[in-house]
Amino acid sequence: MRSIISILTCALLLCACGSRTTGSGPQGDTLVLGHSDLLTLAERGAETSVSVSDPWHQGQTLQHLTLGPTDGRGVLRPLRRVVVFTTAHCQLLEYLGLADRIVGVCDVQYMHIPDIQRRVKAGRIANCGDAMNPDVEKIVSLRPDAIILSPFEGASYGRLEKLGVPLIFAADYMETSALGRAEWMRYYGRLFGQARRADSLFHVVDSSYNALRAYAARLPKGRSVLTERITGAVWYVPGGKSSLGTIFADARSPYPFAADGHSGSLPLSFEQVLDKAGQADVWAFLYNGQRMMTRADLLREFHGYKALKAFRRGDIYECNASATPYFEEVSFRPDYLLREMIILAHPQAKLGQLRYYKKLPQSPS
């Protein structure tokens, strides 16, 4: 998982931002968040109190911090210089017109954002190495205001925790709905002192998503879609309560694993996938490569694919994540992904061309 990291320069803030507590949460006038289950924002005068629920331990708080216009004891001022570890959060800052505040990135080879690549090559953004093993000395030399990273259950952040700068835990990827994750942009905007701009963008995303959902609701039941490919002996599919699972429901696509109650990925054997989704109408998967995968490529990877109805009928759609901005966009523009799934599930839909996926041309296997 790729993550944003922003580094705050106050040691007292490290205690405030990095702690896991069972506190009472933000004090003040709570902002209404319509979709997020993990985030609570409350405004008190010029300050905003933020509470992030621990997604792994019910009833506990993963993080609590206070944002304000000026420095103060336990108060974080708007961020001016950040190190960003994930492509999705870099793209969000681009959307918000805040890309000039990025001074360092990790995993730059996975970031398909032209402006970021240009600035890295020009030396205006530092390459801080691998997100799982970042160049701490380079990060320190950048004098960033904050590190924002995606937390994991039981994770240790090594030397990053000892820098004397706080870590901001970006747990948006743990939300169970696509709009719930996107709604975190309202929090991220406030980190940079751009609440109005972030709220405005989320209103656009929310309105677009709901208009697409209403459009799909008027369509007949669509085609079923199987996602991903086998990895070794395991085929990971999105759980029924995952954000992608909810997108299939909103697209009126009968997802084969809709009855499953998991919000993450399901590790299944091919036999389990074949039993549940072998008759899926469409097979759509992500890959990284220099060219489209052919049917022959797929069969060389795993001959069992031939048992899939979608393979036999040629309803195979590929998204080359190394050539399209899939991972850059879909986290905070779930309306783009919902539109994509409506088109896959409803060929008659009048929504234009696919944005990410391409249909594999028919050819002998």
Q: Tell me the backbone φ, ψ of residue 84, rounded to 5 degrees.
A: -115, 125
3-state DSSP assignment of residue 94: helix
Q: Do domains 11-206 and 221-359 have the same CATH topology?
A: yes
d(CA 239, CA 122): 42
CA 286 – CA 117 distance, rounded (Å): 22
How far is residue 310's CA from residue 278's CA, in Å, rounded to a whole number?
8
For the segment 155-168, the average pLDDT, to the nearest whole number, is 83
In whole angstroms, give the CA distance from residue 225 to residue 344.
Answer: 8
CATH number of the domain located at residue range(s) 221-359 in this protein? 3.40.50.1980
Structure tokens at 75: 């108060």
Closest to 176 measured CA to CA, from 239, 263, 247: 263
> Is residue 7 within 8 Å of residue 162, measured between CB atoms?
no
How much is the pTM? 0.88
Nearest to 24 by CA among 60, 55, 58, 48: 60
> Could you tell me which residues come within 8 angstroms of residue 200 by beta carbon, excluding any fewer than 6 positions away?
none
Q: Where are the chain's structural domains?
A: 11-206, 221-359
Residue 108 structure tokens: 């730059």
pLDDT at residue 18 above 60? no
pLDDT in tens, 268-283: 999 999 999 999 999 9
Assigned superfamily of 11-206: Nitrogenase molybdenum iron protein domain (3.40.50.1980)
Q: How many CB atoms lie within 10 A of CB 295?
A: 18
* Reported confidence tier of residue 28, pLDDT bands at 50, 70, 90: low
Q: Percent of the chain beyond pLDDT 90?
A: 74
Q: Please say if the pLDDT value at position 312 is more than 90.
A: yes
Count of CB atoms within 10 A of residue 251's CB? 29
Distance, CA of 252 to CA of 66 (rounded, Å):
41
pLDDT at residue 103 is higher than 80: yes
How far apart are the C-alpha atoms of 149 and 144, rounded to whole Å? 14
Contact, 107 vs 3, CB < 8 A? no
